[in-house]
Chain A
Amino acid sequence: MPSVVANQPKPLEMKYRQGLLRKLFGAKAYKAAPYMFISPFFILFFIFGLFPMLFSIYLSFHAWDPVDGLGAMEWIGWENYTFALTDEWFHTSIYNTFWIAFASGIPQHVLAIPLAYFIHSSLTKMRNSVVGVYFVPYITSSVAIALVFTSLFSRDFGVINLVLTSIGNFSIGEFQPLAWLFPTENVDWQRPEYTKPMISFVVFWRYVGWNTVLYLAAMQTIPKDLYEAATIDGARRLQQFWYITLPMLKPMMFLAVTLTIIGNLQLFEEPFIITGGTGGLEQAGKTAAMHMYITAFTESDFGTASAISWILFMVIAGLTWINTKLLGSKD
């Protein structure tokens, strides 16, 4: 202890040091020093965060073909917004986005919570490796994922069709007992009716581990004595899960659902790669974010693309607000 005290500069010494800095940089610069230290963040944020954001608002009120240079921007007011909002393709993409968001999002949480509970309560030694395995899809490159899944879902040469049709064609003598439930011929997963379920499945598979980890972390913070008290009171495991775990998870549910909403409404990589960047037949797998990208880079219409991104932002903000009302804590 005394050594620490001894190392601290004496008041006089400190004064001397301050004086030196002042001499070197002047009084004003000395006061500005803290701001200089924090400035790298703000400079980077202004260049790569705030400026593009504000510029895209500005852009959304202009007609602009980017290959024509900045001089070609033309003010057109709200036209980009009215065009986007009344655009059939935008409607389709919004519908697709919500379809995929729900079909992949709800199962993520419905499965992740019991899974986390199981890992939390039943696994001891194996826990870390099991959690690791569930987490791997989340950190795997989405390009690799999409490539693997397109191979799995390949119509003529995919493993999934091979398994499904061999079950469907399973026969005892002449009779095929499972043909009513399973396909007997290869399913063409590229058909528009399968595009959204296929994308949803991949998204679900990819993020269920992430949510499991979130819920697992939250469960570890629930005090053990609550369970002990419940056990003494004679509550069964299911009751403990229902009356202790779930209510205590609410703050984390709020966070996890918010992240899912934001992530799923901005879904881009998986559908983009699975459909080869086109959105698939009848644009059945084209999400709003993809529509924005295509509007910008295929149609060369950066103004409308910016308007779409702000409409999307409003939708996400609205849904997050509803989510806050539903799940956010009031206490």
Chain B
Amino acid sequence: MQTRKLTLIAGATMMALSANTAWAEKITLTVASFPSFDAAVTAAIPLYKKINPDVEIKLVSLAYNDHHNAMTTALATNSNLPDVMGVEADYMGRFANSSGLYDLRQAPFNSGEIEAKFSPFAVPLAAGEKGQLSGMPADIGPGAMFYRSDIMEKAGVSVEDLTKDWDSFIEAGVKVREVTGQYMMSNVQNIVDIVIRSGIEDGGGVYFDAEGEILVESERFQEAFRLAKKAREAGLDGKIAAWSNEWSEGLRRGDIAVEFMGAWLGGHLANWIAPDSAGDWATANLPNDSWASWGGSYYAIPKSTEHQAEAWEFITFMTTNKEMQLLAFEEIDAFPALIEAQDGPFFDQPLPYLGGQKARLQYKEAAAQIPAISVNKLDPVAKQVIADALESVLERDVAVDKALADAAKLLKRRARRK
């Protein structure tokens, strides 16, 4: 710990020297964030003070939704904006096009020089329609499959059966259901979420392509809906929404055998969802060589700030300083977006909760494989449209083609201003 801190200070001092050192008076930098992302800032303050004793960091933290609503209204009126804004991945797509945030690709920031340092998929998620970049990635959520190895063993299902392809996964689920009676997954919605994100070429989007054309009738969606229907009909899922009482209790009691989520779910399982099941859970990559990400966090700089240079320096410290990135990973389980930080002894450690797997290496592989998907500010609308369409297919026996055609029509209407 001590040596790491020392190297951190050494590295940071270098950085501070190379940067502009002409500030004489104390500057207060206001950073707005939300839990638990704000913990990274809290952890950073003492370290950052050593590099930049003249910069005070003032952290303003609100609950997840409140924070993003407050930032939306602050951007709307261009008032009460912080100097540095933390933004979650779901909101980054909307904020990316805001004229109230600096395009970090422009001078004096020139983020283009350091963008290659991050996991390739993370940067496009903060890019706007005109090629601007509004946020720097701090942490990412590479997707993983978590499964109960004891249940799989009892049902005679191998990891290979789970990961080969989706049809094989569903067959394995049928076995699990027959032998143990447990649900294979919380909700078939998960299959759809992953499959519609697979096979997208770099630069493409999930629901819209670069020109804003609607893609929901494409092969990806057809296949996703077909698989979800097949899994639902086989009775594989508990029809449980993530983060509900049923969900956490189902995972705790081992009623749900598989869950797909960001790598950070491992921490949640170990800490509060199912601490007693240590050793029973294991992880693997997503089925059918799919790669997807769950969440992630960014830093943006509002144009109203008077401390542009300091804000940028703070952001680069948080996102490109290897020690800081590793510290955030160790402290709050925020997987580093910085490739350089995705290495070292911490990654080689076996995780006892996951039966001694070196799971962090697996997450690292996933982070490298996730395609660079572009975002559209109407993605949240499209998500709702697709959720409704899926429900009609699963429970109202609407044909997949018709449901997707209706979804496309609905989406076209709502995308009227594109």
Contacts and interface: CB of A to CB of B under 8 A. Distances in A.
12 contacts: A63-B417, A67-B98, A69-B76, A69-B77, A83-B416, A150-B244, A156-B246, A192-B391, A277-B65, A282-B392, A283-B388, A300-B377
A70 B76 contact: yes
Contacts of A69: 75-78, 98-100
Contacts of B78: 69-70
B380 interface: yes
Interface residues of B, number: 37
A297 B69 contact: yes
Interface string A144-165: 0000001100111100000000
B100 A88 contact: no
B169 to A, nearest CB: 24
A68 interface: yes
Given A72-B99, A300-B94, A66 B76 contact: yes
Contacts of A72: 99
- What range describes how many residues of A lie at the interface? 20 to 34
Given A83-B416, A276-B241, A298-B380, A156 B249 contact: yes
Contacts of A283: 384, 388
Contacts of B245: 150-151, 154, 157
A190 B239 contact: yes
B98 A282 contact: no
Given A71-B99, A157-B245, A190-B239, A298 B73 contact: no
Interface of A: 63, 65-72, 83, 87-88, 150-151, 154-157, 188, 190, 192, 276-278, 281-283, 297-300, 302
Contact of B76 (A67, A151, A192): A67
B185 to A, nearest CB: 15
In the A-B complex, the 4 residue pairs with the closest CB atoms: A66-B76, A67-B98, A67-B75, A154-B245
Of B249, B392, B410, B417, most buried by chain A (CB within 10 Å of CB) is B417
A71 B100 CA distance: 10
Contacts of A150: 244-245
Contact of B391 (A157, A281, A297, A302): A281
B97 interface: yes
Interface in B65-80: 65, 69, 72-73, 75-78
A113 to B, nearest CB: 37
Contact of B250 (A156, A276, A277, A282): A156
A6 to B, nearest CB: 57
Interface of B: 65, 69, 72-73, 75-78, 94-95, 97-100, 239, 241, 244-246, 249-250, 255, 377-378, 380-381, 384, 387-388, 391-392, 395, 410, 413-414, 416-417
Given A72-B99, A151-B245, A283-B388, A67 B94 contact: yes
Nearest to A297: B69
Nearest to A277: B65
B349 to A, nearest CB: 35
Nearest to B101: A67
Contacts, number: 78
Contacts of A297: 69, 72
Given A66-B76, A297-B69, A157 B246 contact: yes
A278 B387 CA distance: 10
Contacts of A192: 391
Nearest to A300: B94
B112 to A, nearest CB: 23
A295 to B, nearest CB: 9
Nearest to B90: A298
Contacts of A68: 75, 97-100
B70 to A, nearest CB: 11
Contacts of B410: 88
A190 B246 CA distance: 11
Nearest to A73: B76
A286 to B, nearest CB: 10
Of A157, A281, A297, A300, most buried by chain B (CB within 10 Å of CB) is A300
Contact of B72 (A67, A151, A154, A282): A67
Given A190-B239, A282-B391, A66 B73 contact: yes
Contacts of A281: 391, 395
Nearest to B65: A277
A299 B97 CA distance: 14
Nearest to B396: A282
Given A67-B100, A88-B410, A155 B246 contact: yes
A281 B78 CA distance: 36
A23 B391 CA distance: 78
